[in-house]
Homo-oligomer: A and B are copies of this chain.
Amino acid sequence: MDKIILLGHGSGGKMTSDLIDSVFVKYFNNDILKKKTDSAILHINSDELAFTTDSYVVDPVFFPGGNIGSLAISGTVNDLAVSGAIPLYLSAGFIIEEGFALDQLEEICISMRDEAKKAKVFIVTGDTKVVKRGQCDKIFINTSGIGVLDRKHLEISEGKNIRVGDKIIVSGYIGDHSIAVMGARENIQFENEILSDVAPLNGLIREVLNAENEIKFMRDLTRGGLATVLVEIVEDKNFGILIHEDTVPVRESVSGLCEIFGYDPLYMANEGKILFVVKNENAEDVVNTLRKNEYGKDVRIIGEITSENGGMAILRSVIGGNRIIDKLAGEQLPRIC
């Protein structure tokens, strides 16, 4: 059978990273791309810039707490920010299905404007393509972004300074975005509405970086969720990660719905949550800094870098059992972002 693209290739998990290695990195082969950081780090004249791209295909286009427009701004802003960059400029490329309502396009653009204002970035260039009915599903948006890096944060992007004893911090509840989108897609009525956590986190990240604590690594917990980021941190390393399940912040309503639908919150995409790896002595201080920010008020220390279990991320359950965390194998929820 000829090999074809499957939904899992877009999951952000194992199949995505296999596709990246076997096709994109193989053919586009260059030193910058090979690093597979959230943003490419570019040296142009005397400046260090971060450059990133994301296409947004979320279904439905509007969901509790946001829409494809707010997602397209925050997602790309956050990719720049977790690289240690100050996001400055975004592009916006629209692919729109013939027949899409103009007032919905306006609503999306108003959200993009508002979100860009919150993030203090400018949308400076764009493109619009229209395809016939049935040739795309309503609207897809690509945003690419440029930010400037402080030289002192250059190493964060690759996580080269991670050491045994460092703490793992998550900036708040995980799973909200996925459940909000799934609920809207399947028209599920919740007792307490769950809102997407979509938010630009560059302000919060800047506060953490400015506080003179030693931040070893940051990443936003998007496609593939917390689990995928944990696996990527330890991959090919001689250290491991131990996560204490009872400290991972998941809302009761979210974990309840996950149980019903057979989803694992560890793999759910978030659009306003960050994982930090921080020097042990600085962990409490980072937590205090995060807690003061509206986007970090539910921050938790969830684990640490260990000398045991090199190359593996381990989840210690509430009752004491250990489970190896794997990358997402297939696809839990397509078109979540």
Contact = CB atoms under 8 A, between A and B. Distances in A.
Given A28-B92, A124-B33, A55 B129 contact: yes
Nearest to A8: B130
Contacts of A16: 128
Contact of A28 (B96, B109, B135): B109
Given A98-B5, A99-B4, A127 B33 contact: no
Interface stretch (A137-145, A169-177, A272-280): A137-145
A306 interface: no
Contacts of A148: 44-45
Given A89-B42, A124-B32, A124-B33, A142 B55 contact: yes
A125 to B, nearest CB: 4
Interface string A73-93: 000000000000000110111
Interface stretch (A18-26, A195-203, A234-242, A260-268): A18-26
Nearest to A93: B55
B89 A51 contact: yes
A160 interface: no
A136 interface: yes
Given A130-B9, A335-B131, A93 B30 contact: no
A40 interface: yes
Contacts of A135: 57, 59, 136-137, 335
A5 B53 contact: no
Interface stretch (A110-118, A297-305, A314-322): A110-118
Interface in A134-165: 134-137, 140, 142, 144, 146, 148
Nearest to A100: B5
Taken together, the copies of this chain in the complex come to 2
A106 interface: yes
Contacts of A106: 23, 27
A57 B96 CA distance: 11
Contact of A53 (B46, B93, B96, B130): B93
Contact of A39 (B116, B125, B132, B144): B125
Interface of A: 2-10, 16, 19-20, 23-24, 27-30, 32-33, 39-40, 42, 44-47, 49, 51-57, 59, 88-89, 91-103, 105-106, 109-110, 112-113, 116, 122-132, 134-137, 140, 142, 144, 146, 148, 334-335
5 contacts: A2-B102, A7-B98, A42-B88, A55-B142, A130-B334
